Structure 1
């Protein structure tokens, strides 16, 4: 009997050895569907095994984890946008704005007569705007954020027209500039070309506003903002786009905001530039100063209209590419700082957009796409962040020197891990658990000096996958490996269905998106994703939260479906829902509240500015919204749709996704 037992054990060991040699089980060429009895996870079929420093284990322990079944943390809002400077590859690269889900794209709007892409950063002698060609190109891929009147010289002064050859700046001749700004705004509004307008560019930097002072800029802002509003009353206007490079500096934001408020001028957003080389402020200090100045401006958002985490010396900015010596921005050297900045700014609920500099430039000094069309590590990073699901999940990292973001949706999930130690590699064993999908694929991508970095030895310019499984089932697995210095790992789970987070057909025609901020420094939030017509309102972990986002439409379909998802405990919520305010030739005349929790959200400072005139309940799941049926007879098609939440709760959230229905 004893000999039989020994023989059985030997046969089992021999069979296991033969299976491993033939490629069955984890690590082989084809995989065999290895199952962990404790979790029921089936390894599926291994279709790519090209990672010498990491592997997937279906029955291992881990020191770090993400639980896809527990919604926790700030949603990944997708605030990324791009600053698009003028260059020869403009037409080639601008379609990438759509792939990167750029919320807006920042362009120059100088006094120009150009009708195509040459109008970007080109200075001409006419005050006539002809954007019939250029504007149509832009609006296919993103919403333009124009920084207007880039040239400060009065166009009647011959000596000052030829910037940059003659950088003698003076305060503009408003009799000429005001009609030009009004004409441009009116032109775009009449053609449905929704736009945001930023007044000037870096007025504190020598070369952009040399010969007039801070009070001169305030006069310019008041003129330009009113002129733009004359052409388009719904235009989104802001400034001042300081660079902290000259005599005005960041410290003057409070003075600027007070002057604008005193004059009763519009200030929809305050803009700043940050390149991690500030003379006076860290990023957190800059935000603190901005918020101090914005105390009382509850409807003003913050937009970084130029942003990056590294700046080459100015001598690198314009020299031919053959003479450049600093290629840091096109390598993985910026990854740790870029990821830290993305994670931090995502948590700042009053920062609605971050315009990364830049999409591309002629000599490649700042481009996330090189002059010869190669995609850089920063491009891949922004692309990953653009397509990760929005709903963050509980993530605990027990390994030193590692940070992470993880999120999950109905059809896919993703986890982004990165090494915060710039000197040495870091090891991690990381488990993804609570996986809700019956069957899914796993793909592991790397971005580091040896992968996805064309200037450092990566294989091509694509995002490099190193491990992949298909037909996996079960609720957990472990990725175990090493992340080198300046490295990141992205683990993607997909189900094969059409991703719900991809762009959907527009619901109505958006004029503008606005927020109200009760407390800029708490974690309550309200966000609207135009790519999917989805609003997210949540408490964060604030004790007294209030979030509100509202969208002005020029037209809406007669009927909408509002798919509503309630996340976590809603028992502490006083009010949560959506509301429609209707506009007529006589003004805002009627509003209808659709409540998920509570019956009325009270008065609001837009639309009818009073409590709702009618109420309908909402439930989790699909809800038919009778837009036309509940509208006043004289409704002219313009409406404000708002979403809000008020109360207490830890990471309590409501998600509203709008679609047109018959």
Structure 2
């Protein structure tokens, strides 16, 4: 049955079935203490290329409730009957391009704050051998030319494709590609060259491996070594995981990391788990993927993948149902299922994660909890991925809200409107009560797959700030893959997150590349923890690399304190050398700083720059949040 308000809020006032003491887990949430990796929104969505444009037009509004970085889509060229089959047509000697529907989709996604992530697959009609979309291309020169035209189109139209991926699952038997990994590597190299020719700013990756565990390290090393030999970019390394074993997505992530970590040249390569689902196959109608257990296992994967800090994107499979497998969070009629609710709940949580105490070791009991708070709201998200029910008693410590409202959302199979009615499903709280009514503790019963979300707020809404400049791309650097330190640029809220996360000596560094920057920008910084002089690398800085024409010619470094000349000063982008000038900025760590971009720029500056945020060995409990903003007039 649907939980009552008193059952969800105050157990003292309910006559629900008594809970045995050994079944109850007592936890505490201390809103005054930061903990761990922030609840960054590096989670995104995947859709098969089988989803047609009219389905997006009907359901795109559902993206508004989700803080999703990007939507990855298999373009599915060359397969007759698929929505985008004829993007490239004509003959090998005279290819024609039909961008109308894809461009419409780019604009639609942009309206809802989502960036397109194109997986360019498969073999288009004019380049096929024997009329097979899995076989080819007949000409590598024309394949490269095609990618040049694809990238150039978007650059000329001013439409940003956040990520270009070359092909999809070339190692999935004969399902998608009739060739070897060596054949795929040649396709990748030619495509990467073409994309860069068409758009020098294109962010390019692969190999979109279906089975990194079965295809093997040797094949991956061969791919990487050939990419290095041919000097083509690999901005991200992509891999997939559909459940055959519990937490398979973690083991595959660690396999990918172990391979990449052997190459210094790939220290700037991001890991993208860009198609995954954490449930165990097969995926059947009315199965876990369509029930609250699907949402609970999704949240468990989010919690675990937060700790895999060189995974900068993880695309959940999937957003919209295709009618082929019921994996979508939204069905073919546009009705939302429980996993959508789970994604939505996580999306509502502030990034500023706070301390949760008392959870069982390794979450053996199946009970999970995340909590966070900012000036706008404080949230607690609980879920149970066990097959038996769990009950939690949550003590609230140092709550930032003593007045206002608490919204309570509950999702389980008995309350899921997807299975209880045929009508439109709207996200709405099961109850809204005064904050005072929640008291100092909350007790919640979670059946198998159950999810509960509490959001406290006094109703105040923070003003949204405009972005300074136009985003071109993000840059990451992982010189010490596997350490717990984190760095992330969250494009959904225009904020940089850096932290040592318990590491004694580590580096957290990330950059945003922008164009059309103003003469002056404001840098807002919130720094937490105790800044310590750990070693010769200890530093906290922001670096500006200036572009003149097509080249980066000058770098200016703003630093909180004088820096040791023996430190590791490597910055693998921009000028790639020591800064030309250093500016001591004592406000960098403690508040707002003005960065005088124009007055420090070289002659002929184009308005384009790379802004690098760099925290290095500042103390194991230190963290920072930074936001670049236009100066208010």
2:542 aligned with 1:582: no
Instruction: Give the deviation of 1:492 after TM superposition.
Output: 0.8
Match of 1:480 in 2: 443
Normalising by structure 2, we get a TM-score of 0.86
Normalising by structure 1, we get a TM-score of 0.82
* CA distance in 1: counterparts of 2:88 and 2:232, whole angstroms: 29
SS of the residue corresponding to residue 367 of structure 1 reads coil
Matches within 5 A, 1:179-328: 179-195=145-161, 196-244=163-211, 248=215, 252-277=219-244, 282-295=248-261, 296=264, 297-310=266-279, 313=282, 325-328=285-288
Q: Structure 1 residues 208, 224: CA separation in 2 closer, same or farther (over 3 Å shift)?
A: farther
* CA distance in 2: counterparts of 1:124 and 1:590, whole angstroms: 41
Matches within 5 A, 1:76-225: 76-85=39-48, 86-87=51-52, 88-109=54-75, 111=77, 119-120=83-84, 125-126=89-90, 127-132=95-100, 133-134=103-104, 135-141=106-112, 142-148=114-120, 150-152=121-123, 155=126, 159-160=130-131, 163=133, 169-195=135-161, 196-225=163-192
* CA distance in 1: counterparts of 2:86 and 2:31, whole angstroms: 50
Match of 2:412 in 1: 448
Asked whether the 8 Å contact 1:129–1:180 carries over to 2, the reply is no
- Give the unaligned 5+ runs of structure 2: 14-23
Instruction: Give the deviation of 1:215 after TM superposition.
Output: 0.7
Match of 2:396 in 1: 432
Match of 2:582 in 1: 614
- The superposition leaves residues 152-208 of structure 1 with CA deviations (integer Å, 9 ceiling, x where unpaired) of 2662558416x5xxx6x2344223221111011111122332221111011012345
- The superposition leaves residues 600-644 of structure 1 with CA deviations (integer Å, 9 ceiling, x where unpaired) of 773422112222213140241222222222222310111000101
Q: Structure 1 residues 112, 204: CA separation in 2 closer, same or farther (over 3 Å shift)?
A: closer
SS of the residue corresponding to residue 94 of structure 1 reads helix
Q: Structure 1 residues 207, 245: CA separation in 2 closer, same or farther (over 3 Å shift)?
A: farther
| RMSD (Å) for aligned C-alpha atoms | 3.1
Instruction: Give the deviation of 1:593 after TM superposition.
Output: 1.9
Instruction: Give the deviation of 1:53 after TM superposition.
Output: 3.3
Instruction: Give the deviation of 1:118 after TM superposition.
Output: 7.5
2:348 aligned with 1:381: no
Matches within 5 A, 1:321-336: 325-336=285-296
Q: Structure 1 residues 130, 504: CA separation in 2 closer, same or farther (over 3 Å shift)?
A: farther
2:346 aligned with 1:361: no
* CA distance in 2: counterparts of 1:485 and 1:247, whole angstroms: 33
* CA distance in 1: counterparts of 2:391 and 2:75, whole angstroms: 49
Match of 2:17 in 1: none
* CA distance in 2: counterparts of 1:96 and 1:464, whole angstroms: 14
Q: Structure 1 residues 64, 156: CA separation in 2 closer, same or farther (over 3 Å shift)?
A: closer
Q: Structure 1 residues 136, 403: CA separation in 2 closer, same or farther (over 3 Å shift)?
A: closer
Q: Structure 1 residues 506, 398: CA separation in 2 closer, same or farther (over 3 Å shift)?
A: closer
Which range is displaced more, 359-368 or 343-352?
A: 359-368
Choose from 568, 593, 614 the match for 2:557: 593
* CA distance in 1: counterparts of 2:212 and 2:525, whole angstroms: 47
* CA distance in 2: counterparts of 1:438 and 1:305, whole angstroms: 41
Matches within 5 A, 1:454-473: 454-455=418-419, 461-470=425-434, 472=436
* CA distance in 2: counterparts of 1:57 and 1:651, whole angstroms: 37
Instruction: Give the deviation of 1:303 after TM superposition.
Output: 0.7
* CA distance in 2: counterparts of 1:478 and 1:460, whole angstroms: 34
Which range is displaced more, 625-634 or 599-608?
A: 599-608
* CA distance in 2: counterparts of 1:567 and 1:459, whole angstroms: 48
Instruction: Give the deviation of 1:52 after TM superposition.
Output: 5.5
SS of the residue corresponding to residue 279 of structure 2 reads coil
Matches within 5 A, 1:526-545: 526-545=487-506
